[in-house]
Amino acid sequence: MIKNLIFSGCSTKFFALVGCLKCLEDYNMLNRKYIKNIHCTSGSVLILILYILGYTLKEIKDYSIELNMENVIYDKNNEDKIIDNLLLKKCFINYDKIKNILTKFIYNKTKKNDISFKELLDISGINLIVNSYCLDDNKIIYFSAIDTPNISVMLK
């Protein structure tokens, strides 16, 4: 049984990541209760937080089909938002929209609007490790229940 998983950022490979997890489960190679660590980066963290919280892959897939990614990335009321995100917030997507979506999912499972990496580990038994690149310091930073226990899983 697999104990450790490593995922790259998913961006357009979102369904491939969900499909990979589904395939591993279908072939009895993956069972959430045996996973100890999940290491990921970028957009894959959104999927994996839901998975770690106990959402089924079908629930994650069904919700993602309903989600209009254009509305998450592009703000029709403010055409400058993409440029603002890139230049000021150093991200491509509209973080506020992603935060609102993720907050609802976290609340549904925990009755809290936000949780730390340590709380996620305590709830699930899975240590989520997220690597991020700091443009200001020009280095990779790791977030996890061990390295940054009190930091929000939403990383902002």
**pLDDT tens, position by position, 111-135:** 999 999 999 999 999 999 999 887 7
Amino acid at 100: N
Whole-model pTM: value is: 0.85
Centre a 10 Å sphere on the Cβ of residue 46 and count the other Cβ atoms it contains.
21
Assess contact for 155 and 91: CB atoms under 8 A.
no
Phi and psi at 4, nearest 5°, equal -130, 135
pLDDT bin (cut points 50, 70, 90) of residue 106 is very high
Residue 66 confidence (pLDDT) above 90: no
* C-alpha distance from residue 83 to each of 2, 12, 101 (Å): 41, 20, 22
Average pLDDT in the chain:
85
Quick one: the chain helix, strand, coil %, rounded to 5? Answer: 50, 15, 35
pLDDT at 136: 81
72-103 pLDDT, tens digit each:
665 566 555 656 655 555 555 566 778 888 99
* C-alpha distance from residue 107 to each of 101, 103, 112 (Å): 10, 6, 5
